[in-house]
């Protein structure tokens, strides 16, 4: 005989789980991704989503690092090769590449082409490195993980407001 499904109990349990999740401290959670040979972190609250790379339409007369525009669910996004923008070389196209889309609160339909994503990272387990000067204004902090690998923490607002990043014409 089939087990009875209690909708009220399900809704109550779901509501309690959502409230508990909302009250957790997620300030240490970051999304890890790789650009060229550099490990990066970005706050989950600054990120709208990460998606596989859709078809990109080139724009004539643009900088090499500006890959073009992509239609993502009916909206056009400006796609920039983050590695090439920073002078680290063109990101080779392969199945692990992703588009990192900043949160819509930034008011910019931009997308960063990254080499791959590295999953969720907890910076509370990382060592803050104050001994390194940031070569770019969009690097908020430097960290070292448990294995000694270096990580750059991205300041999306600083990148999206950077005059060089906004100037895409060649």
Task: Find where tokens 């339909």 sit.
Answer: 109
- CATH class of the region 29-166: mainly beta
Contact criterion met (CB below 8 Å) for 66 and 83: no
Contact 105, 114 (CB under 8 A): no
* Per-residue pLDDT, 131: 77
| Mean predicted confidence (pLDDT) in 42-49 | 93
Q: How does residue 135 score in pLDDT terms, banded at 50, 70 and 90?
A: confident
CA 80/CA 62 separation, integer angstroms: 11
DSSP H or E segment with residue 135: none
Q: Which residues pair with 62 in a beta bridge?
A: 169
- Compare 45 and 4 and report the one with higher pLDDT: 45
Q: How confident is the model at residue 20 (pLDDT cuts 50, 70, 90)?
A: low
Check the CA dihedral 168-60-109-64 and report its sign: negative
User: What's the average model confidence in pLDDT over 35-43?
Assistant: 94
Using the predicted structure, report yes or no on whether residue 53 has a pLDDT greater than 50: yes
Residue 118: per-residue pLDDT: 94
Q: Exposed, middle or buried by CB within 10 Å (0-12, 13-18, 19+), for 128?
A: exposed
pLDDT at 8 over 80: no
Average pLDDT, the chain: 88
Rounded mean pLDDT, 62-86: 96
pLDDT digits (tens, 9 = 90+) for 90-102: 999 999 999 999 9
pTM of the full structure: 0.80
Distances in Å between the Cα of 151 and the Cα atoms of 11, 17, 82 are: 41, 32, 16
User: Quick check: 68 pLDDT over 80?
Assistant: yes
């Amino acid at each position: 005989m089939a087990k009875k499904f209690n909708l009220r109990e399900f809704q109550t349990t779901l509501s309690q789980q959502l409230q508990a999740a909302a009250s957790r401290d997620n300030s240490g959670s970051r999304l890890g991704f790789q650009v060229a040979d550099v490990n990066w972190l970005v706050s989950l609250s600054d990120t709208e989503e990460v998606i596989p790379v859709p078809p990109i339409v080139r724009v004539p007369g643009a900088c090499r690092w500006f890959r073009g525009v992509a239609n993502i669910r009916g909206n056009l996004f400006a796609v920039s090769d983050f590695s090439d923008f920073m002078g680290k070389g063109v990101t080779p196209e392969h199945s692990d590449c992703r588009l990192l889309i900043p949160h819509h609160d930034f008011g910019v339909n931009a997308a960063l082409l990254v080499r791959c994503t590295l999953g969720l990272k907890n910076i509370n387990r990382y060592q803050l490195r104050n001994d390194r000067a940031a070569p770019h204004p969009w690097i908020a902090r430097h960290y070292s993980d448990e294995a000694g690998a270096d990580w750059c923490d991205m300041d999306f607002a600083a990148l999206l407001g950077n005059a060089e990043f906004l100037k895409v014409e060649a």
